Structures are given as C-alpha cells and as structure tokens.
Amino acid sequence: MKEKLLHYWTEFGVWIYFILYILINILYGDMISSYYEKIPKPIITSALFLLLIYTTYKAFTPTKENPENLLIPSENDFQRKENNVISLIIIIPAFILYFLISDSFNVNYIIIFLILLVNTKNETSLNRTASFQIKKGLITFKNGKEERIFNTSEITSLEVFPNQIILFKENSQELISFLELEKEDFQNIKTYFNKRVPEISINLAQPVTQ
C-alpha cells in the first residue's frame, strides 16, 4: 500500500510543481523577472544548450545492467510509460501552437522544447524497475523502496500470474503483487530460476499475453 501511495504522489508531483510555479509567478513574478532581465541572454542560452547536450547524452547512453539481476515490470512501470506518452502528446502540439502564434523567435524556448522532448521520448519505452537477484542462497526481490529476501532452501516452487508471483514453501506461501508480466517476462523468470536454482519449479498459472 505504501508503494502504491508513493507511486501516486510521484505521478501527481508534476502537477503540484506546476501549481506551485503558477502561485510563485503570481506572487513574485515581477521580482523574478527583474532579476532575470539582469542576466545576459548569451549566458542563459549557453546554459540551456549545455543542459540539452547533457540530457541528450544521458538519453542515448545505454544503461548498464547487472547480469546477476533479473528485471521485471511492475504495474507502476506501465503507468509511468502511459503518462510519459500522454505528456509527449501534449508537449509537441503545445510548442507547435506557440511557435505558430508567437511573433518573435526565441531560441531559448526552442532549446527548452528540445530538452523536454528528449526527456519524454526517452521515457516512452517500458523501463522495468522491479528485480530478482539470487545470490548466496538468497532470493532478493526489489520494487522501488520495497525489498524482500527469501531463503532458497525454503522455496519449493513459484507460480507466475500476469499480475503477481506466489512463492510456495512447505507449509506457507509468500505473495509478490503489483506486477504486470508479459510472455517475455515469464520466459525470463523461468530461465533465470532454472539456471540458478533448478530445484525450484516454475509454473505458469494462466496464459500471459504479449
């Protein structure tokens, strides 16, 4: 439940910042504008351009993955992807409309648009953030701030559903929920566990679609 609440606060954070921006602009807009006007425009443009270079570099630099970890998607990952796609759909028409109705050409606004576009474009692909790691007889599951550790000797089998995984023990079971697994993820889980702990059987509880 805490992870779900944290997720919703994270998703609505953009709107909170936007509202704060509006309030600050109403209360202190004139003061901020006076300070802003004193900054030489080439310095602002140069800073934005350097930020664009850094953002582009980060966006197109492959993320190094730990081969010891198995990444799987949580439902938060899919929600985040959908929100980023919606943001991209909003950002592009908004800036195109601005350029069409604006009487002046502002290179800084174009750079800001490119920064937002690169950031959003990089996040429109699915980013799997939940993970398993099997090491030294322990199974470690992580999802955000959540971390759960299981002893491999206590687990007899795994039953994989599209939205959850059940770890069976001799007299009890453990539930890992808030997942959104696809067929590819099931195959990866099966391969990962079979390679490291073949004594634990992996069962697909129901069809997992693409």
3 state SS for 88-155: HHHHHHHHHHHHHHCCCCCHHHHHHHHHHHHHHHHCCCCCCCEEEEEECCEEEEEECCEEEEEEHHHC
Name residue 179's beta-bridge partners.
74
Q: Which of 14-18, 27-31, 202-206 has the lowest mean pLDDT?
A: 14-18
Region 139-143 average pLDDT? 95
Region 137-157 average pLDDT? 93
Structural domain spans, the chain:
40-60+75-127, 130-204
Q: Give the model's pLDDT for residue 91.
A: 74
Name the more confident of 28 and 153. Answer: 153
pLDDT at 18 over 70: no
Q: Give the model's pLDDT for residue 19.
A: 72
Q: Give the model's pLDDT for residue 138.
A: 95
Region 9-13 average pLDDT? 50
Confidence of residue 21 (pLDDT cuts 50, 70, 90): low
Confidence of residue 134 (pLDDT cuts 50, 70, 90): very high
Confidence of residue 116 (pLDDT cuts 50, 70, 90): confident
- Measured distance CA(155)–CA(160) in Å, rounded: 14
Confidence of residue 63 (pLDDT cuts 50, 70, 90): low
Q: Give the model's pLDDT for residue 108.
A: 81
**pLDDT 10s digits, 95-108:** 778 777 776 667 88
- Measured distance CA(23)–CA(29) in Å, rounded: 9
pLDDT at 140 over 50: yes
- CATH node for 130-204: 2.30.29
Name the more confident of 37 and 42. Answer: 42
